[in-house]
Amino acid sequence: MLQIKLLPIQTIHSIGPILVILLALLAFIFDAQSSELLIYNRDLITDGEYWRLFTGHFFHSNANHLMLNTAAVVLLWALHGQYYHHKNYFLIFTVSTIFCSLGIYFFAVDIALYVGLSGVLHGFFVWGAMMDIKHKEKTGYLLLIGVIVKIGHEQFYGASPDVELLIGASVATDAHLYGAIGGLLAYISNYLNISKVDID
């Protein structure tokens, strides 16, 4: 029997996604004043501006890019928000962000500038799928297989030209790969009780 899933609207489940959306919106509004200081810039990171490994993800190439990523934040919350807690949300966000940025920095040396949440969102997707599997939700396997196939396809064939046209920039498919790995690492850290913030 088909059951309607209630949205996880409690503050404990929604505060993380709300803050991420607000920060991304503020970054977009004040892009002209702050992007030069905060976006991922390989040369400036090499010079010691390490905060860019984290802050660059809140910026976007245009309004379409922002709306796509904002919609993805909301969709992931609707799918897996019942597992969110403000502590584990920011753990996942931080691990996915840093692993994504370091992956780009060390292994995608052709990427000089990077903006957007998509790498981090792939981390949340993987984490959520793993949490579904942990809680005996069969859809978790389908979601995990789906994201693996998507990332694999991107690695071999690249991103959709339509998406690149929409956001007015090249899609950094390597960011999706490294962000997804970051999400898996965040899940493993919870599973091994390295972090005590897992919510059952």
DSSP secondary structure string for all residues of 53-88? HHHGGG--SSHHHHHHHHHHHHHHHHHHGGG--HHH
pLDDT of residue 171: 87
Domain for residue 1, yes or no? no
SS3 content of the chain, % helix, strand, coil (to 5): 70, 0, 25
Domain for residue 99, yes or no? yes
Residue 188 CB neighbours (<10 A): 14
pLDDT in tens, 145-189: 999 999 999 999 888 888 888 888 888 999 999 999 999 999 998
Domain for residue 5, yes or no? no
Helix (H, G, I), strand (E, B) or coil at 170: coil
With CA atoms as reference, report the closest residue to 195 among 77, 64, 112, 93.
93
Below-70 pLDDT ranges, the chain: 1-5, 192-200
pLDDT of residue 160: 84
With CA atoms as reference, report the closest residue to 83 among 139, 18, 132.
132
pTM score: 0.91
Domain for residue 4, yes or no? no
Q: Which residues contact 130 (CB under 8 A, 6 or more apart)?
A: 140, 144, 183, 184, 187
The DSSP-derived string for 26-44 is HHHHTHHHHHHHHSEEHHH
pLDDT of residue 193: 59
Domain for residue 3, yes or no? no
Domain for residue 30, yes or no? yes
Domain for residue 6, yes or no? no
CATH assignment at residue 100: 1.20.1540.10
* Domain span at 93: 11-191
pLDDT of residue 5: 62
Q: How many domains does the chain have?
A: 1
